[in-house]
Structure formats: structure tokens, C-alpha cells
Amino acid sequence: MEERSQADRRADLYEQLARIGKVVVHPKRVELLDLLCQAERSVEALAEAAGLKLTTASAHLQVMRQARLVETRREGTRVYYRAAGEEVCRFVTALGDLGRARLAEVDQILRAIGAGSDSAERVTRAELLERARSGDVVVLDVRPAEEYAAGHIPGAISLPLEHLEARLGELDPGLEVVAYCRGPLCLLAPEAVATLRARGLRARCLEDGLPEWRQAGLPVATDPADRSGRDIPARTPADGHEARPDRRR
Amino acid sequence: MEERSQADRRADLYEQLARIGKVVVHPKRVELLDLLCQAERSVEALAEAAGLKLTTASAHLQVMRQARLVETRREGTRVYYRAAGEEVCRFVTALGDLGRARLAEVDQILRAIGAGSDSAERVTRAELLERARSGDVVVLDVRPAEEYAAGHIPGAISLPLEHLEARLGELDPGLEVVAYCRGPLCLLAPEAVATLRARGLRARCLEDGLPEWRQAGLPVATDPADRSGRDIPARTPADGHEARPDRRR
DNA sequence: CCTCTCTTCCACAGATCTATGGATAACAGA
DNA sequence: TCTGTTATCCATAGATCTGTGGAAGAGAGG
């Protein structure tokens, strides 16, 4: 009995973990989760963004909710979903990292669009902090405006990729541009950089995206009014990766 | 065409990540992966450890291999499986962390067996390093011997839980015991500590287990002969969590 | 109370996954 | 070559998951 009950509990544990696995077994759910790590969204917006019918998206979201990976907030007739905590984003990040590390296919896809592991081209977080402080760089957030509003690098300018061409004139051609987006699997920043370079501007991508920036313990601004300032704090809590807070609790 | 191909690639990306998700959607596969993060094993051993029939275990392992999360090595008529790289263990760790953080059920199960989040009881890695260096503590690896052989904390003594009672006499009653096992979801160390305390010994669990120790960038010994030494290096590469090497590459 | 919008629930058909026993393949040793 | 061991492959039946359209909730605003 003792022994058996022990084995049962162990089985239960893995059963619970598989509840989480169930969420990421479907590509669209991974996509939804990735989106929710950027900003909360209504069901309709999520369905639209992931290319799903409303009822299908809702069903997927229910699965994610049962696994407690997302939470909801009601506003009038609309329901907003959000990632249920930092651990969720961390998990999604780990999944993406694992994919890039182990699945050659992932790297191929990324390479095919110029976002490949030519990471020599990428700016590190530490370097960005350094240069942003001295003011000789423009930090560009090329994600959709809602995501910028939900959290962005302090001092970054919001310029969604879709408006980039139209608003090129707003950029100081004398400064190098550092663009960032959702993360290493996101295509927005690489594409923006390609566009900028084609126009003769100096531009590079930031390594990773906002979630990793946040997970590194670096400051994140949420004031949607702040769109042009240069307010990276004079001294940051720490200097880059090492700043990551203790993983547990 | 441009636009469409872009969306296709994005879908492909998530499709690839879902390949990984497919592995952790089945409780037994999570269990197998967890085991493989401790040490390589033959199919037979894995089936035995997870309580599966051979053919079923083999089928699960094929799924894991297709997702590139495990690799094999042949030795005569036997095939040994192992986790395909550190990122895999990191992912499993992230999954476990997420489970503990978001699923109340996980914490309940852990609490029911005394392994709950009474982490006040646990010894941190930094503290262990400190005290091991000054020699006033016995580090006990209570996992099966194969796992100890595949990698353990330098200076730790291998004393699998199943032999604990029989070999209690080998422990110096004057020193406090710090026991560790596979990780925060593993029951071995908490049980060992309970047993030791029942015998009047001072004993505590290490926070987390060997995978986390390794992921923190701390030294891991693999020499199976080293079973009683006290050879934690005088100075470690760094001091605990911060030592974690850069997450990517 | 009625209507409109956004979301969830429900039922069902098609697809996918899982466990299992039996057959097959790879290898070691006589 | 023959035998025994270990692992993989295969076919199948039962279970689970997905996408879908239609119906039902839940608020907001007349």
C-alpha cells in the first residue's frame, strides 16, 4: 500500500505536467500562447491574429485555461485573455530555445527569411543598454501598437512594421537603429532591418525580443504616452543576463 | 505571394514547435524524458522504470526521437537512449517549474508527501557549497546508482534510497546530511530526509536536484570511483544561480 | 423587454493517438 | 549457422482530439 500509493502519486504528478503539454501539442495553441506572452487580447483579436474561426479559437483558449496557463478578464461583452504569469512566458521561451537548438527545421525556416542564426549581426542586451545610455542609437519597437502599449523597452519608439515605410522620415538618419520584436522566432524585426538597410540606414536586430528582455530582469515601460523619450535609467539593476532574478518563486 | 509565404513560414515554425509539444503531451513520455535527464538508459530499463511494456516504451521513445529530443547509442544488442543536449533538460526543468507555479494540484501532491513548498527547510546551492568546503556536512546522492555514476555533485556519497536503512551506519552521526535527488518533483530526497530524521540524524534536502545544479553551471563529477572524497573545488566558477551560462547556443 | 455583439457550449464526423500482441531485425556467442 | 536477447515494426481496435455550424449565455444600450 505504501509503495503503491507512492507510485500513484508519481504518476499523478506526470499526469499534471502532461496537462501543460497538452497545450503546446497544437501549433495554433503555441501561436496563441506566444501572442499572449506579448500582450493580453480579446478572443476575437486572437482568432484574427492566429487565423482561426472564432469558435475554434475559443475552444483552444478553453484548453489553455483548463491547464491554467491563461487567465481572463471581462470588459463589458468582451473577454480578454492573458498569460497566467511570468512562468508561462518563461516556458514558451524555453520551448522556442529548444526548438532552435534541436530542430534543424526551425533554423532553416529562420534562415530562409534572414532571421537565421547569423547572430553576429545582433545587438546584445548589454550593448543596447550601453549605447542607449549614451544616446547614439534609436530603439525601435516594430510590434503592433497594442503590444508596445502592454510593455516595451524604456525609450523605445513604437513603429509597427506595417507603418515602417510610411513613417521612415521620422527616423534620424544619423543614428543607428536597433529594432526588436517578439523574440528570436519572430520575423518582424529582421524584416524591419532589411527594409531599413535597403533605404541606406544603419540597422540591426536586438538579440531576442521583449519577453527575454523582461525575463532578464531589465526594466519594462508600459506608459503608452512615452513614445520618444530617452529614459533608460542611468544605472540598471544589473548588467544583462546576470540580472535574471532567481528562477523559483 | 510574398505575404502568403510569410504567413506560411510562421505556421511552419509553430508546427515544428508543436513537434516538441507532442512529446510532453503524454504523462509517460514526460516521465521518460525526466529519467533521461538524469542518465542514459536502455529501452528495457526505461520500460521497467516507467512501468511500461517494452513495445509501448519503444513506441514512446520513437516519438521522442522524431522530435529530436533524445538520441541513441548502440552497445551490442542493447540500445541506450539519452537526452539530446542540455536544452532538453532545461526544457523539462521549465515544465516542472511551470507545473509547480501554476497547477495547484502539483503542489498538493508534493505537499502530501512532505516534499511540498516548505522550502524554508531546503538548503540552497550556495549554502551547500559553502558548508561542503568547510567540511561540516555530508552530501548524499539518494538516486539509483546508475544516475550517480552518470553525474553527481563532487564529493557526494552515493546511497540510493532503497539501501538507506541498511547502510545508515556508514554515516557520521555528528554531521548534518544534505540529501539531493532528481529535482523538485522527485520524492527520493524528501523521503530519505524523513527516514534520517526518524533515526535522530540532522538532515535536510537540497533545493532542486542534479539537473538544476548542472544548469547553474556548477561542477559535476562523473567518476564512479569517487564515492567518499571531499573534493568540491576550493573556488567555483561562480556562486550559485548567477553562474548559469548564457541561455542560448 | 428587446436587440446586438461577443463569447461559450454542444453535437458530430473525420482525423489522430495509444496500447497491445505478434512478426521482424540486429547483434552476440557457441 | 543456429539460438537467445533486445529492440523495432506492423496491424488493429478503442479512445481522444479537431474543426464546424448552430444554439445558448452574458452584457450593453436603447
Q: What is the pLDDT of residue B224?
A: 53
Q: What is the pLDDT of residue A155?
A: 92
CA–C1' distance A156–D2 (Å)? 75
Residue B187's nearest CA partner among B109, B96, B122 is B109
Q: Which residue is nearest to nucleotide D19 (CA to C1')?
A: A56
How far is A218 from A241, CA to CA, in rounded Å?
A: 9
Instruction: Give the neighbor-by-neighbor strand order of the sheet with A157-158.
Output: A157-158, A137-141, A176-180, A203-205
Q: What is the pLDDT of residue B111?
A: 82
Kindly report the backbone phi and psi dihedral angles of residue A195, in degrees, each rounded to the nearest multiple of 5, phi listed first: -60, -45
| Contact criterion met (CB < 8 Å) for B16 and A105 | yes
Q: What is the pLDDT of residue B6?
A: 73
How far is B81 from B74, CA to CA, in rounded Å?
A: 9
| Contact criterion met (CB < 8 Å) for B24 and A19 | no
CA–C1' distance A79–D27 (Å)? 11
Question: Hey, which residues of A are catalytic here?
Answer: 181
Q: Which residue of A has its CA nearest to B31?
A: A14
Per-residue pLDDT of chain B (249 residues; tens, 9 = 90+): 444 567 788 899 999 999 999 999 999 999 999 999 999 999 999 999 999 999 999 999 999 999 999 999 999 999 999 999 999 999 999 999 999 999 988 888 888 776 655 545 789 999 999 998 888 899 999 999 999 999 999 999 999 999 999 999 999 989 999 999 999 999 899 999 999 999 999 999 999 999 999 999 999 999 754 444 444 444 434 333 433 344 333
Question: Hey, which residues of B are catalytic here?
Answer: 181
Q: Which of B12, B21, B110 minimises the CB distance to A21?
A: B21
Instruction: For residue B230, give Cα distances in angstroms to A238, B113, B159, B243.
Output: 34, 31, 16, 22
Residue A115's nearest CA partner among A241, A209, A214 is A209
Residues of A in contact with B95 (CB under 8 A): 17, 20-21, 91, 94
Instruction: For residue A13, give Cα distances in angstroms to A20, B161, B204.
Output: 12, 20, 23
CA–C1' distance B11–D24 (Å)? 33
Share of chain B above pLDDT 70, in %: 85
The answer to whether the C-beta of B11 is closer than 7 A to strand D is: no
Q: Which of A102, A106, A119 minimises the CB distance to B87?
A: A102
In the 109-168 segment of chain B, residues within 7 Å (Cβ) of strand D are none
Cβ–Cβ under 8 Å, residues B157 and B139? yes
Cβ–Cβ under 8 Å, residues B92 and B41? no
Q: What is the pLDDT of residue A33?
A: 98
| Contact criterion met (CB < 8 Å) for A185 and B31 | no
| Contact criterion met (CB < 8 Å) for B248 and A20 | no
Kindly report the backbone phi and psi dihedral angles of residue A110, in degrees, each rounded to the nearest multiple of 5, phi listed first: -65, -40
| Contact criterion met (CB < 8 Å) for B103 and A68 | yes
How far is B64 from B19, CA to CA, in rounded Å?
A: 9
How far is B14 from A126, CA to CA, in rounded Å?
A: 29
Q: Which residues of A10-30 are buried (b: 16+ CB within 10 A; e: fewer)?
A: bebbbbbbbbbbbbbbbbbbb
| Contact criterion met (CB < 8 Å) for B9 and A241 | no
Question: Nine-digit cell at B212?
Answer: 538544476
Total-model pTM: 0.87
How far is B215 from B89, CA to CA, in rounded Å?
A: 9
Q: Which residues of chain A have pLDDT under 50?
A: 1-3, 119, 225-249
Q: What is the pLDDT of residue B62?
A: 97
The 10s digit of each residue's pLDDT in A16-64 is 999 999 999 999 999 999 999 999 999 999 999 999 999 999 999 999 9
Residues of B in contact with A12 (CB under 8 A): 105, 109
Q: Which nucleotides of C are covered by protein (CB under 7 A)?
A: 5-10, 17-23, 26-29
Report the nucleotide nearest the CA of residue A77, measured to C1'.
D27
Q: How many CA atoms lie within 13 A of A45 on its CB side?
A: 14
Cβ atoms within 10 Å, residue A151: 16
Q: What is the pLDDT of residue A107?
A: 86
Residues of B in contact with A192 (CB under 8 A): none
Question: Nine-digit cell at B183?
Answer: 529535482
Q: What is the DSSP string of chain B?
A: -HHHHHHHHHHHHHHHHHHHHHHTTSHHHHHHHHHHTT--EEHHHHHHHHT--HHHHHHHHHHHHHTTSEEEEEETTEEEEEESSHHHHHHHHHHHHHHHHH-HHHHHHHHHTT-SS-GGGSBPHHHHHHHHHHT-EEEEE-S-HHHHHH-B-TTPEE--HHHHTTTGGGS-TTSEEEEE-S-TT-SHHHHHHHHHHHTT--EEEBSS-HHHHHHTT---B--TT-SS-----SS-SSSSGGGPPPS--
Q: What is the pLDDT of residue B112?
A: 77
Cβ–Cβ under 8 Å, residues B37 and B92? yes
Residues with CB under 7 A from strand C: A 42-44, 54-55, 58-59, 61-62, 72, 77-79; B 22, 25-26, 28, 52-53, 55-56, 59-60, 63, 74, 76-77
Q: Which residue is nearest to nucleotide D8 (CA to C1')?
A: B58
Q: Which of B19, B84, B90 minimises the CB distance to A94?
A: B90
Mutation site for B-interface testing, chosen from A8, A15, A20 by largest number of B Cβ within 10 Å: A20
| Contact criterion met (CB < 8 Å) for B24 and A20 | yes
How far is A20 from B21, CA to CA, in rounded Å?
A: 9
